[in-house]
Amino acid sequence: MVAASDMDDGALIGAMADGSREAFGTLYDRYCTLMLAVGTRILRDRREAEDLVHDVFVEAWKQAPTYDASRGTVRTWLLLRLRSRALDRRKSAGSSRVTPVEPGKLAQSEVAAPSDPSDGPDRAAVIDALSNLSNDQRAVVELAYFEGLSCSEIAERVAIPIGTVKSRMAAALTKLRSELGPYGGGEP
């Protein structure tokens, strides 16, 4: 039998679907730091992000049999669940105290201290790719990702037509995919 630590992510999900707690623990160890960093970035509260990461992993345990590799990697599956739940929490009445991210803030941020979980191996590549976008493109990407705004909400916020928001978003995502190469959707 292969040890969980030697399994790829897809095999871990399969083992989790069969009830393997070791596989669950290994998957948690692989992604908890990244998920905590993303959750903290969106929620602006580490304790709330920790609760969210816990909830997403419990959900992943329960939903492991429904994972479909043809729709994306395990990493993407987990991060999309996390992002969706984080944005739901931000939009709930209890989270209205959250300060929105200003357009362009991420790409201009200082390099985090080494103990910061958001200082992952691909952070520099993502910040570099974002900094290569035009200010207009970066603004719509950040408003959509970090604030969870829809295209119509972004159009209203920055006072431009919705079609312009959509074309900027499409151009930005195409450029990001091109620049990030293997980071843009594959396994790390």
The pLDDT-based confidence of 101 (bands split at 50, 70, 90) is low
Where does a domain end: 61, 78, 99? 99
Cα maximum dimension of the chain: 59
What pLDDT is stored for residue 28 in this prediction? 94
Cβ atoms of 26 and 67 within 8 Å: the answer is: no
Residues 118-153 have pLDDT tens digits of: 555 566 777 788 888 899 998 888 888 877 788 888
Residue 80 sits in the same domain as residue 118: no
What pLDDT is stored for residue 109 in this prediction? 46
Residue 55 sits in the same domain as residue 1: yes
Amino acid at 164: T
What pLDDT is stored for residue 105 in this prediction? 54
Give me the CATH number covering residue 77.
Answer: 1.10.1740.10
27: pLDDT strictly greater than 50: yes
Query: Chain centroid to CA 175: how far?
Result: 18
Q: Which residue has the higher pLDDT, 87 or 107?
A: 87
Cβ atoms of 4 and 26 within 8 Å: the answer is: yes
* Residue 66 belongs to domain spanning: 1-99
Residues 163-185 have pLDDT tens digits of: 999 999 899 888 888 887 765 54
Number of domains comprising the chain = 2
Where does a domain end: 99, 118, 148? 99
Residue 142 sits in the same domain as residue 75: no
Kindly give the interhelix angle for 74-91 and 21-43, rounded to the nearest 10 degrees: 40
Helices in the chain by DSSP H: which ranges?
9-17, 21-43, 46-63, 74-91, 123-131, 135-147, 151-158, 162-180
Residue with tokens 């692989």: 30
